[in-house]
Amino acid sequence: MSSNFASVIGQDVAIAQLTSAAENPVHAYLFLGPRGSGRAAGALGFAAEILSAGLEGPAGERTQRLAVEGTHPDVIVVEAQGAGLRVVEAEEIIRHGSISPVEGSRKVIVVHGVDAIEEAAIGKLLKVIEEPPASAIFVLLAEEVPPEIITIASRCVRIEFVAVPTQLIETVLFTEGVPIKRAKAAAAAASGDMSRARLLATDEALAVRAALWQAVPGRLDGSGASVFQLTNELREAMDGATEALDAKHAVELEDLAARVELTGERGAGRSDLVARQKREVRRLRSDELRFGLATLSRHYRDRLIEAPDPAAEDALTAVSSASDGLIRNPNESLWLQSLLLGLSPAR
């Protein structure tokens, strides 16, 4: 396997397809798969393969390294600033596509969250995919293909990514030096997301948060006071969960400061880095909520396995509704309160 895909775990079929496609790429690709499956890293590895074609020695190595890092001038990464891709992001994609590559004959434009695109932006993105600039290669990332992007998807070569098996995540973490007990806990909490598993493997409080979610059903007594107390505790626990990510972000900012000292502020990408870090924090908190939902779901399903339990069925319905609501980036406190009220036993 090419070293450009070294961080992509458990995706041998997709990597083989991309390695072959990089030799003669078409204008647009759609990478489909669950979060954490390696779509984003795969897109950067694919860009490295494309942009380094024909280059040898230090020039090829530099191109590959910068592309994999996402800092090559001919790798453009576009992410939604809100819940979904808006017209302003679609126009940004068009603008980037119209500008000639900086170093070579091609540029790769990676677009995150195409399945969450707003209706007003669909036509603009479709047009640039249907009439692509000669030098631009588009890599669109999505978890699924909802009806509104079927036409866009039909204009792209589809590459499928699968959820990374928990056992494989455990193995990878263990080979990276994570103690086996912590590797198992991180893999179980990561829901097939390798990058999240690595972050959780450095999280001393993971077991504490897991125990807090496991205790929720037994602590709900039908009163508003129990809901209020648990909401506060869960939010405080999630605040603690960001510490490992905060440490990672601090290192990134230090590295940026060092680069600025050497090369100057112009083109350093400070605003892009800060914006990405904010998105990562929001995503982490959302992942923590999904981790809690998975923990609750297992609890109530286990109850149903033991015996018919209408209360457990109602609780699972509440969990499902809460999961659907996360898509809309709700207020965290209100979302937790609504979930816990839905789980609370009738008084």
pLDDT tens across 195-207, in order?
888 888 888 788 8
Is a pLDDT exceeding 60 seen at residue 208?
Answer: yes
Other Cβ atoms less than 10 A from the Cβ of 301: the count is 14
At residue 7, φ and ψ (nearest 5 deg) are -90, 0
Is a pLDDT exceeding 90 seen at residue 50?
Answer: yes
Quickly state the pLDDT bin for 262 (edges 50, 70, 90): confident
Is a pLDDT exceeding 70 seen at residue 264?
Answer: no
Res 116: pLDDT: 86
pLDDT tens across 216-259, in order?
999 999 899 999 999 999 999 988 888 878 888 898 888 888 87
pLDDT tens across 4-45, in order?
898 898 999 999 999 999 999 999 999 999 888 899 999 999
Res 266: pLDDT: 59
Give the integer Cα–Cα distance in Å for 127 and 151.
Answer: 11
Domains of the chain by range and CATH? Answer: 3-160 (3.40.50.300), 203-343 (no CATH)
**What would the DSSP string read from start to end of 23-87?**
TS--SEEEEE--TTSSHHHHHHHHHHHHHTTT--HHHHHHHHHHHHHT--TTEEEE--SSSS--H
End-to-end Cα distance, the chain: 59
Quickly state the pLDDT bin for 265 (edges 50, 70, 90): low
Res 343: pLDDT: 92
Is a pLDDT exceeding 50 seen at residue 347?
Answer: no
Is a pLDDT exceeding 60 seen at residue 110?
Answer: yes
